[in-house]
Structure 1
Amino acid sequence: MATILVVDDELGIRALLSEILADEGHTVELAENAAQARALREQFQPDLVLLDIWMPDVDGITLLKEWGATGQLTMPVIMMSGHGTIDTAVEATKHGAMAFLEKPITLQKLLRAVEQGLARQAPRPAGNGLTSAAVVRELNAEPHSHHGSLPIPHPVALGPQAEQVFVLDRPLREARDAFEKAYFEFHLAKEHGSMTRVAEKTGLERTHLYRKLKQLGVDLTRNKRAGGN
C-alpha cells in the first residue's frame, strides 16, 4: 500500500480522511499547515498528497507552486476545497495538480481519486493546460452513489481534448440547472466577474442575468473584480 500525506487545517477533515485511508491499508501522515507539509514530505517521500487550498498560513496552491518550482513535485497531488470554483481548479491543475475535489467529500469519490492518483504515480507537468470545460464538468458532476459519508465532483480529467460532460441520469430540471450554472460560472470566470460583459456574451439583460445567477446559486463574490461593475 501507499504512503499518503493529508494536508488540511481542519482537524475533523484530517481525522476522517486518515481513518478512511488507513482502513484501505495506506500509511497516512497528517499536516495542518504548509510548514508541517514541507517537513513531512521531506521525511516520508509520500506516494500521493491530498492538499487543501484554503489554509491560514500558506495556501495550498502557493505550496503546490513552491514544490513545482523547486523540483519537489515528484508525487501526484490532489487539491481539496470547500469553495471550489472553475478558476481555482484551473489554476491548481496548471501548476501540476492531477485532480480537484470539492468538499464535503464522498467516500466513493475519495477512494476513486486516490486510486487513480496512485496508478498515475507522477504529476502532470505544470503549464500543460486544462480546459475550462473539463473543470466545469467536474465542479458540476453528481455522484452516482450515496455510499459513504464524505459529495464531490469526479477528479478533474486532464488532457487537452477533455470534453464537458453532464450526468444525465437525473430529473430534467436538475440537469438543466447544472448545465446553466456551469455555463454562467464559465463566463463569469472568463470575464473576471464582469456582469456587463457576461450579459453581453450570453444575450441576457443584466437584471435578468443577476436574478438567474442568484436562482442557480452562483457565488457572485468569487470572481468579482476589485472595482466592481
Structure 2
Amino acid sequence: MSGQILIVDDEMGIRELLSEILTDEGYDVTVAENAAAAQSYRETTQPDLVLLDIWMPDIDGVSLLKHWSASGLLTMPVVMMSGHGTIDTAVEATRIGAVGFLEKPIALKKLLATVMDVLKQHPVNSVATAPAVTTVLDKVISPLEPMLTGSDSDDCIVDMSLPLREARDQFERLYFERLIQQTEGNVTYIAELAEVERTHLYRKLKQLGVKIPKK
C-alpha cells in the first residue's frame, strides 16, 4: 500500500488507533489533534487522503472543510468521521466536497475498504475534478430518486411543504423501507448498504416506526 494520510481527530485514542492500523497497512500517516494543526500541515503539504473528524472543539471538521474549499486547498479527497453523524451533516459535507463518511466506532474492515477505495479512485499525487467514490449522499438519494424527482410536484412522495425535521424523517423512512424491500429484510445487508452499525440501525428504525417483516 502507498499513500500519505492525514488523520484529524481531537481524541488521542482514536488518532493513535487509526494511525497504528493504517501504518501497519503500509500507509504514511500524519496526525493532527485539531483543525488548527491540520490547517498548518495542509499549508505546507498536500496529503493523498484526509480522515477528518466532524465534532472537534474550537473549529469543527465541516468548518475546516469549508475553509479548505473556499481557499482552494481542498485538492485532496476528504472522508468525514463522526460518532454522532446525521444525514444533514453528511449531505452538507458532501456538498462542500467530502467524498465519504465513516461512522464511529469505525469497523476495521470498513476503514481499510474506504481508504483503499478512495485512493484507488483518487490516485496518489493526482487531483480529481469531482468525487468518484460513492458518497453518503449518493447512497441516500439513488434508491429514492424516482420518488424525489418528476416534472409534476405531485409526483414527489416526500411532502416538501413539511418542516425540515418532519421531511427528513419522512425521507429516511422511505429510504429504509426501500432498503428493506430490496434486501428482503436482511438486517446485515441493510446495515452494510446504509453504512451504519446494526445497533444504530435498530435504534433508527424504531425511532422512525419502521418494522422489519418477520420471515
TM range (shorter): 0.5 to 0.7
Deviation at 1:217, TM superposition (A): 4.8
User: Does the aligned pair in 2 maintain the 1:7–1:49 contact within 8 Å?
Assistant: yes
Deviation at 1:214, TM superposition (A): 7.5
| DSSP 3-state at the match of 2:68 | helix
Residue number among 181, 184, 192 corresponding to 2:164 in the alignment: 192
Q: 1:132 to 1:118 in 2, by over 3 A?
A: closer
- Give the Cα separation in 1 of the matches to 2:106 and 2:129: 23
* Corresponding residue of 1:80: 81
* Counterpart position of 2:139: 134
- The answer on 1:218 being equivalent to 2:207 is yes
The question of whether the paired residues in 1 share the 8 Å contact of 2:54 and 2:62 is answered with yes
After TM superposition, the score normalised by the length of structure 1 is 0.59
| Alpha-carbon distance in structure 2 between the residues aligned to 1:218 and 1:132 | 21
CA deviation after TM superposition for structure 1 residue 110, in Å: 0.4
Q: Which amino acid aligns with 1:5?
A: L
Listed as ranges, the matches of 1:21-100 within 5 Å are: 21-100=22-101
Q: How far does the alpha carbon of each residue in 1:33-73 deviate from its partner, in whole angstroms, 9 at most, with x for none?
A: 11000111223321100000010111111111111111111
Which has more helix, going by share of residues?
A: 2
In 2: Cα distance, 1:131 partner to 1:4 partner:
21
Distance 1:105 1:214 in 2: 18
| Aligned mates of 2:204, 2:100 — CA distance in 1 | 29
Determine helix, strand or coil for the equivalent of 1:110: helix
The root-mean-square deviation of aligned C-alpha atoms, in Å, is 3.2
TM-score (structure 2 length as normaliser):
0.63
Alignment length (residue pairs) = 156
| Percent of matched pairs sharing the same residue | 54
State the AA in 1 paired with 2:165.
Answer: G
- Deviations 1:2-53 (CA, angstroms, capped at 9, x unpaired): 1100000111110000000000111111011110001112233211000000
The SS at the match of 1:44 is coil
How do residues 89-168 of structure 1 correspond to structure 2 at under 5 angstroms? 89-121=90-122, 122=127, 125=130, 134-135=139-140, 162-163=142-143
Letter in 2 for 1:193: R
Gaps of at least 5 residues in structure 2 are 145-157, 175-201, 209-215
* Cα deviation, residue 135, structure 1: 3.3
CA distance 1:123–1:67, change in 2 (3 Å):
farther
2:48 is aligned with what amino acid? D
Runs of 5+ consecutive residues of structure 1 not aligned to the other structure: 137-161, 165-185, 203-212, 220-229
